[in-house]
Amino acid sequence: MKRVVITGMGTVNPLGKNVEEFWANIKENKLGFSHIDQFDNSNFDIKCVGAVKDFDCSEVIDKKEARRMDRFTQFAVYAADQALKDSGTDLKDLDPFRVGVIVGAGIGGLNQMEIEHSKYLQKGPGRISVFFVPMMISNMAGGMISMKTGFKGANFPIVTACASGSHAIGEAFRKIKDGYLDACLTGGTESVITEFTLGGFNNMKALSKSDDITKCSTPFDANRQGFVLGEGAGVLVLEELEHAKARGAKIYAEIVGYGATGDAYHMTSPDPKGEGSAKAIELAIEEAGVKPEEIDYINSHGTSTGLNDKYETLAIKNALGEENAKNIAVNSTKSMIGHLLGAAGAVEAIVTALSAKEDFVHKTVGYETPDPECDLDYVTEGNRNVKVDVALSNSLGFGGHNATLCIKKYKD
């Protein structure tokens, strides 16, 4: 079996348009929330989102190309370009059929779907853009990345709602570990801050109604109201270790385990026994060859919804043992950027890798009131400079999709 390392990373999200900017803002506990200004929201209860402001992809995608891409695809191509540049190689020394592109999206081109549906209603089917279908479908993020890079290996999307980014990374990890690929661009992307999406999530009672950007996303807090809808992308370069070493690559961290399970329980609610998520954690650490007491840090799914935070807490305790779980630092990046849906797991994997590289765990921002059903160490008092040799990144998606990545500090 091959060892798999992270050698490049790129992102665009509410706290930054590259990894350096994003990580600096994370360390300063800045908030990426803003009041909705994309459309008139006077009829909405929802006031806050995690939007990417002033996004300009022109350095990577020319104007003609950009007009033929939905925003979620633009995000993915932009982040992938960063990740490759960050890796220090274009991977052209490899057989292009040995370099893959596996990028997830929970929903895909809903922006374009709304635009074209409006045209259809107002002017008839003849006015629907010829680019509507290729702009809307979820696989186009990976498709466009491959066209830009020339990579011809395994190329497919993962669509598992909010677990899409983590599943994509996990599947890319396995492709390299098992010898099918030498490298892969992988991660997740999403951009669905629209009236239609907000209306749907709001009617499900899933979104925070707070109009206070400092209190709208408060994972694990007793007074949490729901998640804040965000957008963005995270793309990583995964590479077989010996190839990375041979070219003198910088290595952020090593991926050593991946667990994927289903709840078989409910369309939107996690399993109240925490069995599915717990099993994903167990599978990830089993593959990694580590014991529960070796886990130093967990970047949780931590959505700030009542059910997720409670059941994820239970799952962590079930998987790792209650007393051991209470000694592990658990935080939520969503406390600063909101929920990026299909991109969440990828952006949070970037955070987890940097935490392992730098022995740093960020604060769960906004937490004030303890919840007796959420009784782990959520890093609520401030950032910590602590040993992070072994870390987990959890993702849970509507439909009962669970993913856990086990990431270790790189040691030759």
Point out the residues that are catalytic. 162, 301, 339
Specify the length of the chain in residues: 412
Sign of CA dihedral 371, 374, 377, 383: negative
Contact 176, 183 (CB under 8 A): yes
Q: What are phi and psi of 116, to 5 degrees?
A: -75, -30
Helix ranges, 35-158 (H)? 63-67, 71-87, 110-123, 132-136, 140-149
Question: Using CA atoms, how far apart are residues 248 and 251, in angstroms rounded to an integer?
Answer: 9
Tell me which residue has tokens 């600096």.
24
Contact criterion met (CB below 8 Å) for 151 and 185:
yes
Q: Is 237 helix (H, G, I), strand (E, B) or coil?
A: strand
Q: Are strands 155-156 and 48-49 parallel, antiparallel or unpaired?
A: unpaired
For 52, the token pair is: 């990417």
Torsion of CA 254, 24, 359, 232, to 10 degrees: -40
d(CA 63, CA 69): 10
Q: Are 333 and 347 in contact (CB under 8 A)?
A: yes
Question: How far apart, in Å, do the first and last CA atoms of the chain sit?
Answer: 16
Cα-flanking dihedrals φ and ψ of residue 211, to 5°?
-100, 10
What region does 370 belong to: left with phi over 0, alpha with psi -120 to 50, or beta?
A: beta
Half-sphere exposure of 293 (CA within 13 A, CB side): 1
